[in-house]
Structure 1
Amino acid sequence: MFTCTVKNERFQFHSIREVLAKASEEKSGDKMAGIGAQSYLERMAAKVVLSELTLKEIYENPVIPYEQDEVTRIIYDDLNQYIYQEIANWSVGELRENILSHKTNSSDLFRICKGLTSEMISAVAKLMSSIDLVMASQKIRPTAHCNTTIGEQRRLAFRCQPNHPSDNPEGILASMKEGLSYGSGDAVIGVNPNNDSVESVSRILHMTHEFIQKWEIPTQNCVLAHITTQMQALRKGAPIALMFQSLAGTQAANNDFGVSKAILDEAYELMAKYGTSTGPNQLYFETGQGSEVSLDAHLGIDMQTLEARTYGYARHWKPFMVNNVSGFIGPETIYDGKQVIRADLEDLFMGKLHGLPMGIAPTYTNHMQADQNDQEIAGMLTALASANFYMGVPGGDDVMLSYQDTSYHDDASLREMLGLRPLREFELWLEKIGIMENGRLTERAGDLSIFK
């Protein structure tokens, strides 16, 4: 039992799981699940209790027991016990102060993160303001290499997302050319397929690979079908540089996704043997607050903590990219623009503190209480917080998935606004074909005739 009195009102919390849930900023998914704080005072009381908990107490009370959940087992089995023992007696409040201290640098944080469980990382994020999250995120720059190197200082990458509602090759190619002409695509050229069959996925993989080869583009291709479909395509000779899968923070939700450690291990080994990229980082994961609630697989755990656990699960396979899409589901999990912005900042920080090369998709759906202004604010704040990459969608409106995301023009604006440049290898290619000069787009940007 944990208690705290705020303004003469006494609050009781029966478990660390409840403290974590009640300390979360308001999210409609937690409210729908009946686990969020009922008032601002209760939220503040939970934050006070949380700030005083030690990392050891959180370690000894995972939100799902080790014996019951594969995600928990991977998080705990991968933990550096020596580093954990050094910091086990810190309170969550002390962890926050250490992260934000001017004396703590990026190397210090990369070391500390190896001794933190995902619940600890979720806990400290709950004590942080928006400025705290931006400042802390700026300190952490995880890097990875596939065919390009992501995460280097002063570099900002984009996934060119040329989706088409019927997987029409000409439509995909036109969108891909447009994205590339604006400098989008250094993270990956990644297509969400309408048809998830091995044959259709293989066709798109061959088409994108051949285009990349023809134009000698330093990037990687990916078709975001289910991982087992991609594995079948790879075995049949389809050229895959980066393999994708959506992940969640409970074994129950991952079962619904049709994914497990055994499947991911097999995919990791297949890519190492047959993938077309240099590597060593050849997997791409997508996550987002709310998937477990939407599947009724949250087990009474708050969305933010489940998202942190997803990152603890993902880091086991050393991915090249982890992309967060917390606004993708809709108002039942993230209700409005304010909640989207907060979730994006939390997720970027938590992913980076797990040592992951994090990207953000400040997404929203048309039935949410959010609009383009909210999306652009989320994009600017997370770019200020040094997100590794964003999406690039024609017009910012994905015609296949029916949601709103950053456009090719947004991509160029974020780079220009903050003085950032494409990934090193990709920038040289952009200069070679006349799209970029001295880090800025030329008049040829947006001219698809370049690719005749």
Structure 2
Amino acid sequence: MYAHVVRGERFVFPDLRDLLAKANEAKSGDALAGLAARSERERVAAKLALADVPLGDIADTPLIDDDVTRLLAAGHDRGAFAPLRSLTVGGFREFLLDHRTDGAALAGLHRAITPEVAAAVAKLMGNKELVYVAAKIRVVTRCRNTLGERGVFGVRVQPNHPTDDVGGILLAAIDGLCYGCGDAVIGVNPATESVDTVAAVLRALDRLIDVTGAPTQHCVLSHVTTQLAALERGAPVDLLFQSVAGTEAANRSFGVTPAMLKEGLERVRESHRGRAVSWVGDQVTYFETGQGSALSADAHGGIDQLTLEARAQGVARAFDPFLVNSVVGFIGPEYLADERQIVRAGLEDHFVGKLLGLPIGVDVCYTNHADADQNSADNLLLLLAAAGCNYVMGVPCADDVMLNYQSTSYHDAATVRELFGLHPAPEFAAWLEARGVFRAGRLAPAAARPALLAHLSALGG
């Protein structure tokens, strides 16, 4: 039991799960689940009580008994955690904010920090502090190129099409390349789970990369079993994708288990060894997370959204990902009601990912029935760029015509790079210069566009 007195009123929190939930910033999803603090005074009391909890108590207290908890426990570096055990959550916050604690020091603690510890300290951070600490940490990964180095701001080209028309997908993808986007991945969300369709899109994206010579990777974001079925039919799989959540029950609702992910990782790595591609690394998985997914599946187990997001990221960490991203406003206002909550969740998710050592990106997005707009997205995009986010989405005109939500555009990414002096992945940047799309590290005038658009005929688009 935990308790704290605020202005003469005593608040009691029966267990760690309740304390973590009550200490969370206001989220409509936590309120919907009946987990949120009932007043700001109770929220403050919970934060003050949480600040005094030793990290060892959090690491030793499973919030739920399931296969996610067991997976996270198996990956915990207890030796590296030992010096942190006696620190309180408040003390850990001070350690992270200390200017003497740099990225190298934090890199050595990635496997020592459990998801629940990362979530706990995030609850005590202000938005500026989430940005400041995350900006210290760089997480570098390698597949066909190198992503995550300091000064690199990657972009996923997301050329979705409502009927999975290959020509439309290729046109939107090449448009993104013309803006210097696509170094993170050219990733398509298919409209259907057809193996034939997924295989056709994978082959088309592979041809695009081959014909243009772009040093990047492709992915079709269907279910892991659909991608593996396409692989069995000879389709090339660069990155194996799956959405994951923070409880066994929520992952079961997605139709996925840790064993399936382990098998998929091994099969894709094996397939890479048989392909004539210049791989620069063997990180071959891509995971998406997002606050509210477990609640939407009625599988939250009484745990708050932020803590579940951290656990979902812990699942992703177990499979050596090349990319991870939080789709921060995609589920809707039932879980993140407005701009304030979406911005807060995006900064939390990015901060937690960096602490856990993940190559974390964010889909800065919102649905049309949320109390948010493109200015909201701009605000979060700029904050994440300052925080050293690995990558964001590039969607034609920021409007995804297949998923029916709003995100960030190719133009947005180009503007952020120029504003902050950021660049694409190094191999991709060299290719952009060679193609005339970039000149001296900056986006060239639109005259470069026809040269890439000419490739459509060779691709059959």
Q: Taking structure 1 as the reference length, what is the TM-score of the superposition?
A: 0.98
Residue deviations 1:207-227, cap 9 Å, x none? 110111011110001000101
Structure 2: which amino acid aligns with 1:180? L
Displacement, 1:252?
A: 0.3
- The answer as to whether partners of 1:250 and 1:298 remain within 8 angstroms in 2 is yes
User: 1:46-445 counterparts in 2 under 5 A?
Assistant: 46-64=46-64, 68-275=65-272, 278=279, 279-444=281-446
- The answer as to whether partners of 1:307 and 1:347 remain within 8 angstroms in 2 is yes
- The answer as to whether partners of 2:436 and 2:448 remain within 8 angstroms in 1 is no
Secondary structure of 2:318 counterpart: helix
Displacement, 1:446?
A: 7.1
Displacement, 1:445?
A: 6.3
Q: Distance in 2 between matches of 1:245 and 1:445?
A: 38
Secondary structure of 1:90 counterpart: coil
Q: Distance in 2 between matches of 1:215 and 1:87?
A: 49
Q: Distance in 2 between matches of 1:78 and 1:69?
A: 15
Q: Distance in 1 between matches of 2:291 and 2:352?
A: 12
Which aligned runs of 4 or more in structure 1 are off by greater than 4 angstroms?
none
Structure 1: which amino acid aligns with 2:50? L
Displacement, 1:84?
A: 1.5
Mind listing any 5+ residue stretches in structure 2 that lack a counterpart?
A: 455-461
Q: Distance in 2 between matches of 1:224 and 1:419?
A: 31
Secondary structure of 2:242 counterpart: strand
Structure 1: which amino acid aligns with 2:15? S
Structure 1: which amino acid aligns with 2:112? G
- The answer as to whether partners of 1:290 and 1:326 remain within 8 angstroms in 2 is no
Q: Distance in 2 between matches of 1:74 and 1:167?
A: 36
Counterpart in the other structure of 1:31 = 31
Secondary structure of 2:10 counterpart: strand
Residue deviations 1:330-384, cap 9 Å, x none? 0000000000000000000000110000001111000001111111000000110
Q: Distance in 2 between matches of 1:117 and 1:135?
A: 20
Q: Distance in 1 between matches of 2:133 and 2:364?
A: 19
Q: Describe the shift of the 1:213–1:23 C-alpha distance in structure 2 as closer, same or farther (beyond 3 A).
A: same
Residue deviations 1:302-334, cap 9 Å, x none? 000000001111111110000111200000000
- The answer as to whether partners of 1:62 and 1:119 remain within 8 angstroms in 2 is no
Mind listing any 5+ residue stretches in structure 1 that lack a counterpart?
A: none
Q: Distance in 2 between matches of 1:86 and 1:217?
A: 45
Question: RMSD over aligned Cα, in angstroms?
Answer: 1.0
- The answer as to whether partners of 2:154 and 2:392 remain within 8 angstroms in 1 is yes
- The answer as to whether partners of 1:178 and 1:448 remain within 8 angstroms in 2 is no
Structure 2: which amino acid aligns with 1:82? G
Secondary structure of 2:109 counterpart: helix
Displacement, 1:450?
A: 2.9
- The answer as to whether partners of 2:51 and 2:90 remain within 8 angstroms in 1 is yes
Residue deviations 1:59-116, cap 9 Å, x none? 121211xxx3111111111111111222111100111111111111112111223212
Secondary structure of 2:446 counterpart: coil
Structure 1: which amino acid aligns with 2:399? D
Q: Taking structure 2 as the reference length, what is the TM-score of the superposition?
A: 0.96
Q: Distance in 2 between matches of 1:88 and 1:448?
A: 59
Q: Describe the shift of the 1:8–1:73 C-alpha distance in structure 2 as closer, same or farther (beyond 3 A).
A: same
Structure 1: which amino acid aligns with 2:88? S
Identity of aligned residues (%): 47
Secondary structure of 1:61 counterpart: coil
Residue deviations 1:251-299, cap 9 Å, x none? 0000000111110011110111003562311000000000001111001
Residue deviations 1:199-244, cap 9 Å, x none? 1100000011011101111000100010100011112110111111
- The answer as to whether partners of 2:212 and 2:452 remain within 8 angstroms in 1 is no
